[in-house]
C-alpha cells in the first residue's frame, strides 16, 4: 500500500523553476536582494495586499526580527499561546523576553477572555497564533491591547492566503509573521516574511535581515543576517503562480474529510469560521481521549498513513520549558486537553480522493472496533 505522509510540499512544474534558475545563472547574483528577490517581494506584497512585506530566510528568524523591531523592554512579558509549534515560544525566549501562557479556545486559537488576568506592569505584547490557519479573535485581542498599550504580533505561519472579512489576515495586529517552510501551504523551501503597515517597523525589519547596512558607506543598525536568497525567491515566484490551485486542492480534500468524519462519536472537528476564507493548511481532529487518539494514530501508522500529533506535547510540557517559571505558572486546561486528543490527518494539494477515503476508512474502523 502506498505510504501517505502527513504533508507533501507543493512544487512548481520543473521547467518553470529552471526558467527562473537560468536568470540566476545569467546574472551570477545568488543573494543580496537580486532580481528574483525583488520580483518575488513585489508579487508577494501584491498577493497579500500588503505593501509592507519583508521576505526573510525563514519564519523563525522573521519572528525574532519582528519582536526585535517592536523594541519591547528587556525582560518584558509577552502573552502567548502554549498550543503552537515551539518556534513561537522559542522566539520570545531567545529575544530575552518572558513568555506568559494564556489558555486557548476549543479550536486552538488564543482565548481572549483569559488575557486581561495575565496583564501585569511588565506585559509589553501579545503573540497569538492563527493556529491551523484559523483566525484568532482579532477584535477582542486588539481591544485588550489598546486598553493596556500592548503590541500585537501575530504568528501567521499557518495562515498564508487566509482572508477575514474580505481582507488578508496579515492586515491585523502591529505585524504578522509568515513561514514559507517546505511543509507550509506556500513554500520557498525555507523562508518567511513579516508584514506590517508601520513604516518605522519596516525599516527596522530591513535592517535586521541585512546587518543594518543601508548603502556602501552606511551601516545604521546592528542587524543580523536573515536574507532570503535568489533560489528561495525563485521557488516563491513559481509557487505563487499556482497558489490558487494548491489551496483549492486542499479545500476539496478537507471537505471530503468533513463529509465523512464530522459528527462521528468520539471525535470533534472545529466548524468552519464565519467570514473567513480558509487555506486548509491542516486537518486537525480532536479525539475524546488521549487513549483513543493514540489508538487511531497507531491504526493509521499500521496502514502506512502518517498522521501527526500537532501540537503535542504542549510547549510548556516540552523538556526545555518543563519546570520553568512560565511553564509552572501556565494554567491552560483547554490547551492541555486539545494536545492530548489532537491528530492532524494528512492534507496536501495533491492528496487523492481515494487516499482520503482510505484514511477515513481507517479512522472510522479504529473508532468502531475500539
Ligand X SMILES: *Cc1c(COP(=O)(O)O)cnc(C)c1O
Residues that bind ligand X (CB under 6 A): 58-60, 84-85, 87-88, 129, 155, 157-158, 179, 181, 192
Question: What element of type H or E holds 164?
Answer: strand 163-164
d(CA 135, CA 128): 10
DSSP structure string for 292-304:
HHHHHHHHHHHTT
C-alpha cell at 187: 513554500
How many Å apart are CA 77 and CA 11, to the nearest integer?
40
Task: Burial-class residue 146 by CB neighbours within 10 Å (0-12, 13-18, 19+).
Answer: exposed
User: Which residue, 66 or 362, is less far from ligand X as judged by CB?
Assistant: 66
The residue with its CB nearest to ligand X is 59
Q: Note whether 111 and 104 are within 8 A (CB).
A: yes
Q: How far is the CB of 105 from ligand X (least distance, A)?
A: 16
* Closest to ligand X by CB, 80 or 123: 80
Q: Which helix (H) or strand (E) holds 291?
A: helix 290-302
Give the β-pairing of 151-155 and 163-164: unpaired
Beta carbon of residue 37, minimum distance to ligand X (angstroms, whole number): 17
**Looking at beta carbons only, is 58 or 239 nearer to ligand X?**
58
Q: How far is the CB of 83 from ligand X (least distance, A)?
A: 10
Select 164 or 292, whichever has its Cβ closest to ligand X: 164
The minimum distance between CB 177 and ligand X, in angstroms, equals 7
Please state the closest distance from residue 102 (CB atom) to ligand X, in A. Answer: 15
CB of 59 to ligand X, least distance (A): 2
Q: How far is the CB of 192 from ligand X (least distance, A)?
A: 5
Pairing state of beta strands 77-80 and 98-101? parallel
CA distance 325 to 30: 44
CA distances from 117 to 79, 104, 123, 252, 331 (A): 11, 14, 11, 41, 11
Instruction: Give least dist CB 151 to ligand X, A.
Output: 18
Closer CB to ligand X, residue 153 or residue 362?
153
Cβ proximity to ligand X: between 84 and 210 the closer is 84
Looking at beta carbons only, is 266 or 280 nearer to ligand X? Answer: 280
Rg (CA), the chain: 21
Q: DSSP assignment, residue 289? A: S
Point out which residues pair with 78 in neighbouring strands.
99, 125
Residue 193 CB, shortest distance to ligand X, in Å, is: 10
363 and 307 Cβ atoms separated by less than 8 Å: no
Strands 342-345 and 276-277, bridge-based pairing:
unpaired
Residue 187 or 356 with smaller CB distance to ligand X: 187
Task: Measure the CA–CA gap between 329 and 314, rounded to whole angstroms.
Answer: 14
181 vs 227, beta carbon nearer ligand X: 181
Amino acid at each position: 500500500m502506498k505510504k501517505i505522509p502527513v504533508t507533501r510540499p507543493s512544487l512548481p512544474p520543473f521547467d518553470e523553476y529552471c526558467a527562473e534558475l537560468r536568470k540566476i545563472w545569467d546574472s551570477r547574483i545568488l543573494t543580496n536582494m537580486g532580481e528574483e528577490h525583488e520580483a518575488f517581494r513585489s508579487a508577494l506584497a501584491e498577493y497579500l495586499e500588503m505593501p509592507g512585506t519583508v521576505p526573510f530566510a525563514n519564519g523563525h528568524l522573521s519572528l525574532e526580527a519582528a519582536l526585535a523591531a517592536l523594541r519591547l523592554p528587556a525582560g518584558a512579558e509577552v502573552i502567548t499561546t502554549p498550543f503552537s509549534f515551539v518556534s513561537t515560544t522559542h522566539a520570545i525566549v531567545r529575544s530575552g523576553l518572558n513568555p506568559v501562557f494564556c489558555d486557548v479556545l476549543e479550536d486552538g486559537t488564543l482565548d481572549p477572555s483569559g488575557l486581561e488576568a495575565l496583564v501585569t506592569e511588565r506585559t509589553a505584547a501579545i503573540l497569538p497564533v492563527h493556529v491551523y490557519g484559523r483566525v484568532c479573535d482579532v477584535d477582542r485581542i486588539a481591544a485588550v491591547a489598546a486598553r493596556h498599550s500592548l503590541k500585537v504580533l501575530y504568528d501567521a505561519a499557518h495562515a498564508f492566503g487566509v482572508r477575514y472579512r474580505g481582507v488578508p489576515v496579515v492586515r491585523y495586529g502591529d505585524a504578522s509573521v509568515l513561514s514559507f517552510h517546505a511543509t507550509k501551504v506556500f513554500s520557498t523551501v525555507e523562508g518567511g516574511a513579516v508584514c506590517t503597515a508601520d513604516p518605522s517597523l519596516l525599516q527596522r525589519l530591513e535592517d535586521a535581515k541585512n546587518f543594518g547596512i543601508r548603502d556602501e558607506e552606511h551601516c545604521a543598525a546592528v542587524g543580523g543576517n536573515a536574507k532570503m536568497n535568489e533560489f528561495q525567491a525563485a521557488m516563491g515566484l513559481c509557487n505563487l503562480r499556482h497558489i490558487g490551485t494548491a489551496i483549492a486542492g486542499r479545500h476539496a480534500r478537507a471537505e471530503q474529510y468533513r463529509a465523512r468524519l464530522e459528527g462521528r462519536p468520539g471525535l470533534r472537528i472545529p466548524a468552519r469560521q464565519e467570514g473567513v476564507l480558509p487555506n486548509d493548511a491542516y486537518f486537525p481532529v480532536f479525539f475524546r481521549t488521549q487513549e483513543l487518539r493514540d489508538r487511531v494514530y497507531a491504526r493509521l501508522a499500521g496502514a502506512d498513513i502518517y498522521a501527526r500529533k500537532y501540537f503535542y506535547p504542549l510547549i510548556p510540557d516540552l523538556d526545555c520549558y518543563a519546570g520553568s517559571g512560565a511553564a509552572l505558572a501556565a494554567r491552560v486546561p483547554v490547551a492541555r486537553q486539545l494536545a492530548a486528543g489532537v491528530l492532524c490527518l494528512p492534507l496536501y494539494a495533491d492528496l487523492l480522493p481515494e487516499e482520503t477515503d482510505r484514511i477515513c476508512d481507517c479512522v472510522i474502523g479504529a473508532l468502531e472496533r475500539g
